[in-house]
Structure 1
Amino acid sequence: MNKFLFKQIDNIGLVLFRVVFGLLIATEAFGAIATGWLRRTLIEPPFTFNFIGFDFLQNLQGSNILYFYFVIMGIFGIFVMLGYKYRFSIIAYAIMWTAVYLMQKSSYNNHYYLMMLLCWIMAFLPANRWFSLDAKINPEIKSPAMPRWVLLILILQVWIVYTFASVAKFYPDWLDASMAAMLMSGKSDYWLIGGLLQETWVHWSIAYTGILFDLLIVPLMLWKRTRLLGFVISVFFHLFNSIIFQIGIFPYMSIAFALFFFSPEILQKRFLPKKKIYTGNEIIIPKYKNLIVGVFSIYFLFQLGLPLRHWFFKDDVLWTEEGHRLSWRMMLRSKSGSLTVWVKDKATGEKQLYNYGKIVGEKQQGSVATKPDIMWQLAKKIKMLEAAEGRDVSVYMEAMVRVNGGNYYPFTDSTIDLAAEEWHPFKHSEWILPSPKDYNEKPVKE
């Protein structure tokens, strides 16, 4: 085990990934300002839905200070790219991005989650030992090698992401290509390819290419004979996703994962011809060996457990949403809904409709009508606001939800005061009504 984990290998793949990763996370921070994402998501809404338990992050929401916050994040990203004050810069970015991620759920995206995980993983890694300002300023830290465990945890993280993404697609609406058809239905106005994307054969190709790519890309990249083929497929697949779905830096980060698989000789020839390849093959066991093994063992147990947790909830995750987040369930469902909210004054018994639009931004309204944890948070927010006005109220919600273009069905028990309920992250919420039989069956057109 010591030989397997702590044998020294060339570090060129990690060094190059640090450069690309730093550029991408800087782009993410500055791009959030330039594209208006920051303004629409965190500044304009009167209230955002943070991850439950992180309510204190609402103190940042809505403030123009967030523009400076994101500029500082972008600068830290550039420092990571340059390898300047690397450890401080990557930890600072990781903390700041984690706060952004936990601050809101209406713009939930798997690449935001992956970026957060990679920031924290990179904080543990010696990615500044070569081709960095740190190594130039302080030659004592310069090294052409790294322990093998560094490469293994990066590959394992990538493998987990892709494997769970593939397995999650094994359900009827993906296997019959209807989900792919729905994803493409809004792309008909794309220049040149819009019409092509509406073809049935394209939908079937997208559905099964998605399954096979996610399942096989890591094995293809691990085997030397298929590595180049896997890389070519990866570039095409991720560029297609970038053009069609416009999902930010995620496709380019995924392409950069190839740096973990190609040999140091190839990477040296293509990118750093002046770097001498390390061939010492030393085995250096650090004093903190047990800490490394322990921390990453616990981490990967969570990475394996979180995507599986929905199997321990009652009912279907596609209906309840319980166990959906942090599970690499990518582009698996399309949900829409309507929500009606009543408040009942406990002192007078008066019940009236509540206009929740006045406290929820336009971007959040689509999420609040379909996601139970956000409904619960809205109920708690309404109760708090009413209490500030001197009224003790109960909050009732009637939601109608449709999944993957199916019929609308009742989603919540409208007789239960949601503001009086507790949220249990690993327990089914009984106020979510059971999923109807064939709830995602498509309505028959007359």
Structure 2
Amino acid sequence: MRLTNFLFKQVDNSALIIFRIIFGLLCFLESVGAIFTGWLRRTLVEPEFTFTFIGFEWLQPLPGSGMYIYYLIMGGFGLFIMLGYRYRFSAFMFAIMWTATYLMQKSSYNNHYYLLALLSAIMVILPAHKNASLDAKHNPSIKENGMPNWCRYIFILQMFIVYTYGAIVKLYPDWLDASIMGILMKSKQHYSLVGEFLQNEWLHYFLAYGGILFDGLIIPLLLYKPTRKLAFFAAVFFHLFNSFIFQVGIFPYLSLAFALFFFEPQAIHRIFLKKKPFYSDSQVIIPAYKKPMLTVFAIYFSFQILLPLRHIVIPQSVLWTEEGHRMSWRMMLRSKSGHTIYYVVDKKSQVRTTVNLDHYLTPKQKRLASAKPDAIWQFSQVLKEDYAKKGQDISVYVDSRISVNGRPFIPFIDPNVDLAATKWSHFKHSEWILPPKQGYFTR
């Protein structure tokens, strides 16, 4: 009962209203930014095909200029979220459209894209349009100054999961000896003014251990009032540094916006929405749908906690196989490169041909199809389908060597397995991925 009272106690909704405005603006900027930076052209327009999430091959980019229109419409829904115009519909449409583009391609996979898909779905169910919105202006009967307390803590718990796993997965040798940070910073050597500075070894250690401490402590420090302001300023430095050095889109600014839910409602109201009446009644309003709602939340957060752990039951290191890597908050943990040759064998004539990857893949897709086993399997299926259209029944064999975090290149895929005839399993280890030689991950 105490938990129920805590979750359904009404608090001032200023934080949620301001977050809606920032969230909608960032959704708009992410959408139109994909167009103007050329990301959309390189990722979804120019490629002959995209590496979708396996099982979602039916999600394909629109032809011609269709994807530009798609992203403009999606950006428009972001603006509608910001303005609170037809909020529920706009939030739902953005969530569907963004999730579709997330599942549509893996060449530019990013944990932050996954997070935005989750957050956009959460925003659909929140009463974020009940004030300072066009919906409330056109229909004053929906206007409210309060919200249930769970509207704050759904974000706090989600980000606690993200950051906690972000800290835990960094506790492995290549991060602890700062070698992976050195590799990441070497790629930034061309930056003007700071490029050379970023090559200092002491900085690599500072960033490596600072990253662990930040991810592991930021949520508890924001929750604890005496350390809240200091933690917020640390977050500002951390996220602005990431934005400048790693250029990770809207994520740093979205992460800073979450601070709204940690500060006292009075402070957020005073700073951002002085003209709005402050809600201070602290009523407990328990809805009739309490049980199904709490059940859904329990299932959702159980899934969020368990999904990043799935690699534990999969043989071999996730750094090697990539099995269990995605949707697990494993951010900037490894650098992987590969040398991969695809051979096509005509089953009738037994003629063996080397595939020219330039005929099928963009440079970014070639890197993906050279080092990631699911992409290697998918491209083998693409080759099978392409040759079938020409009336040929083929086998596909792969000679692949990869390097993880600057280590030597060693064999990765069993060259004797016909990947065109191999079935994909989402839930068990692919035996055609060769194990790394003993001691490979010991420096």
Q: Same fold (TM over 0.5)?
A: yes
For residue 438 of structure 1, report the CA deviation from its aligned partner.
3.1
Secondary structure at the residue paired with 1:411? Answer: strand
- Report the 3-state secondary structure (helix = DSSP H, G, I; strand = E; otherwise coil) of the residue aligned with 2:207: helix
Q: Separation in 2 of the partners of 1:328 and 1:418?
A: 29
Secondary structure at 1:251 match in 2: helix
Equivalent residue number for residue 29 of structure 1:
31
Which stretch of the first structure deviates more once superposed, 367-376 or 352-361? 352-361
- Helix, strand or coil for the counterpart of 1:9? strand
Question: What is the match of residue 150 of structure 1?
Answer: 151
1:351 matched to 2:352: yes
1:10 alignment counterpart: 12
Q: Aligned pair count? A: 441
Letter of the aligned partner of 1:49 in structure 2? Answer: F
1:56 aligns with 2:92: no
The change in CA–CA distance for 1:124 and 1:16 in structure 2 (over 3 A counts) is same
Deviation, 1:413, is 0.2
1: CA distance, partners of 2:63 / 2:213: 42
Counterpart AA for 1:382:
L
Contact 1:383 1:393 in 2 (8 A): yes
Letter in 2 for 1:8: Q
Q: What are the equivalent positions in structure 2 for 1:319-338 lying under 5 Å apart?
A: 319-338=320-339
CA drift of 1:345 comes to 1.1
Q: Is 1:40–2:37 an aligned residue pair?
A: no
In 2, Cα distance between equivalents of 1:121 and 1:294: 15
Matches within 5 A, 1:7-406: 7-58=9-60, 60-406=61-407
CA distance, structure 1, for counterparts of residue 290 and residue 93 of structure 2? 25
2:282 counterpart SS class: coil
Partner Cα separation in structure 2 for residue 332 and residue 61 of structure 1: 33
Per-residue Cα deviation, 1:262-313 (whole angstroms, up to 9, x for no partner): 1111111211111222111111111211221111111111101111000010
Q: Distance in 1 between matches of 2:40 and 2:441?
A: 34
| 8 A Cα contact 1:47 1:61, kept in partner | no
Is this contact kept in 2: 1:221–1:230, CA < 8 A?
Answer: yes
Write out per-residue CA displacement over residues 209-265 of structure 1, whole angstroms, 9 at most, x where no aligned residue.
000000000001000100000000000000000010111101100111101101111
1:63, 1:301 → 2: CA distance? 41
Distance 2:358 2:416 in 1: 22
> Does the CA-based 8 Å contact 1:90-1:122 persist in structure 2?
yes
Aligned-partner Cα distance in 2 for 1:185–1:239 = 20
8 Å contact 1:175–1:208 — kept in the other structure? yes
Check conservation: 2:11, 2:265, Cα contact below 8 A: no
The AA in structure 1 aligned to 2:273 is: L
Amino acid of the structure 2 residue aligned with 1:179: I
Q: Output the CA distance in 2 between the equivalents of 1:223 and 1:193.
A: 35
Q: Distance in 2 between matches of 1:38 and 1:186?
A: 23
The CA deviation at 1:62 is 4.9
Deviation (angstroms), 1:441: 5.6
Supply the AA of the counterpart residue of 1:3.
Answer: N
Shift of 1:360: 1.5
Deviation at 1:440, TM superposition (A): 4.3
1:437: how far off? 2.4
TM-superposed deviation, 1:11: 1.0
Q: Secondary structure at the match of 2:222?
A: helix
Q: Secondary structure at the match of 2:59?
A: helix
Superimposed CA distance per residue, residues 354-387 of structure 1 (whole angstroms, 9 cap, x where no aligned partner): 2233112222111111100011100111001111
Q: Partner of 2:412 in structure 1?
A: 411
State the 1:319 CA deviation. 0.3
Cα shift readout 1:174-210 (whole Å, capped 9, x = no counterpart): 0001111111112222222222111111001000000
In 2: Cα distance, 1:158 partner to 1:194 partner: 31
* Amino acid corresponding to residue 419 of structure 2 in structure 1: L
Counterpart of 2:20, as a letter, is R
Counterpart residue type for residue 266 of structure 1: A
- One-letter amino acid of the structure 2 residue matched with residue 425 of structure 1: H
- Structure 1 runs of 4+ aligned residues shifted over 3 Å read none
Separation in structure 1 between the aligned mates of residue 298 and residue 348 of structure 2, nearest angstrom: 54
Give 3-state SS (helix, strand or coil) of 2:395's partner: strand
Alignment partner, residue 436 of structure 1: 437
Q: Is the contact between residue 15 and residue 269 of structure 2 (CA under 8 Å) also seen in structure 1?
A: no
Q: Which range moves more in the overlay, 145-154 or 80-89?
A: 145-154
Contact 1:404/1:440 (CA < 8 Å) preserved in 2?
A: no
Structure 1 residue 2 displacement after superposition: 2.0
Which residue identity lines up with residue 43 of structure 2 in the other structure? T
Distance 1:185 1:169 in 2: 19
Query: Residue 42 of structure 1: SS of its match in structure 2?
Result: helix
Unaligned regions of 5+ residues in structure 2, if any? none
State the secondary structure of the residue aligned to 2:371: coil
TM-score of the two chains, using structure 1 as the length reference: 0.97
**2:222/2:228 contact within 8 Å kept:** yes
Letter in 2 for 1:160: I
TM-score normalized with structure 2 length: 0.98
